[in-house]
Structure 1
């Protein structure tokens, strides 16, 4: 009887200890559309502490030789005005790791990645939807964007020797049918370049978006919440 009582007490202590060590559930507030959006740095830091994969990594400092061409920090974009105050790109840690592997795979071919955009704060998606007429080419704020989750990348291929972009069907952000990744009426060289980009990205866990040859969604995007934290705040936390 005494032995049985001791065992019960031990199980109780173990149970209490396990519950004490279990991290508290992080509650993400909902916006006007009923979407959970992380908009405070404190809440973001809590998520990262519980799961390091939640970290938004600054890509230029993480991937050797990566080239950035952040159109949204310039007037050369869909809304004809800068929407970022910093020309940088972020992505979740597993996305950044996959991109690093892709960059390493391309290097022996004399090629590399050029990034147009990565993580996009939620308020920018709201701005795009308000200002861009062709809604098929911008995310609806009622749903949010994979970009808002740090799990979508806009990119292309360049030659390392001179930094020139490989020829693709259209320029970045062209809102035309020729931008679709399966558009057939392009030259054989363009088909080859586009296929190389799509196939390389797919091998590393990305899926090309149905109407943009440059847009790739990380397949594990549902694991990550929508975010609305500015680049400046992300950088300040690192510093």
Structure 2
């Protein structure tokens, strides 16, 4: 894990969570494990940047963002997929070195590089992004439209947006 909102290495520069654990619903965790197992055969592991996000953290994040970056996050008014426990923000790391691989952009980079269809970067970065997308989608995830690192498992119809603080999750 490299849970970015548990420390200061994020767009806000402050910690948003008191926990260093990532949470997801059971199906999402199982699908993520299958994807990780498939990537391991290629020498990569899944680096989790974020998973379940309580609604109050979505609201706080929205409030903290400068006006010119508000479009980066969904409005917290209706909740978002991260509030269901069925969305994850992920990247890759090298299993041999244990180091994160260099992808097309960093987590929460607000630039054209964040978009899934970005054609810049190096060939290796695009190949790694495409590998991640391929394995995640084969395991039931849909890639987000605005962030190459964002994936949601299945259809969210009928899924409730939750506001359970991390310390109360069992």
**1:116 corresponds to which residue?**
49
RCO comparison, higher one (Cα < 8 Å, 6+): 2
Aligned to 1:113, what secondary structure does the other structure show? Answer: strand
Distance 1:94 1:218 in 2: 8
Distance 2:24 2:56 in 1: 17
- Deviation track 1:25-46 (CA, whole Å, cap 9, x = no partner) reads xxxxxxxxxxxxxxxxxxxxxx
**Residue among 82, 86, 93 paired with 2:19:** 86
Aligned to 1:163, what secondary structure does the other structure show? Answer: coil
| Runs of 5+ unmatched residues, structure 2 | none
What is the root-mean-square deviation of aligned Cα atoms in Å?
1.1
Shift in Å, 1:191: 1.1
Alignment of 1:34-113 (within 5 A): 68-113=1-46
Distance 1:115 1:192 in 2: 19
Would the aligned equivalents of 1:177 and 1:211 in 2 still touch at CA under 8 Å?
no
- Deviation track 1:35-94 (CA, whole Å, cap 9, x = no partner) reads xxxxxxxxxxxxxxxxxxxxxxxxxxxxxxxxx111111122122211100111000111
**2:107 corresponds to which residue?**
172
| Runs of 5+ unmatched residues, structure 1 | 1-67
Shift in Å, 1:143: 1.8
Distance 1:228 1:195 in 2: 33
Shift in Å, 1:167: 2.1
**Residue among 128, 133, 146 paired with 2:81:** 146
2:119 counterpart of 1:184: yes
Distance 2:157 2:110 in 1: 26
2:144 counterpart of 1:218: no
- Deviation track 1:164-211 (CA, whole Å, cap 9, x = no partner) reads 222211111101111101011221111101100111111111111111
**TM-score, normalised on structure 1?**
0.68
Q: How many residues align?
A: 168
Bigger Rg, which one: 1
Structure 1: which 4+ aligned runs deviate by more than 4 Å?
Answer: none
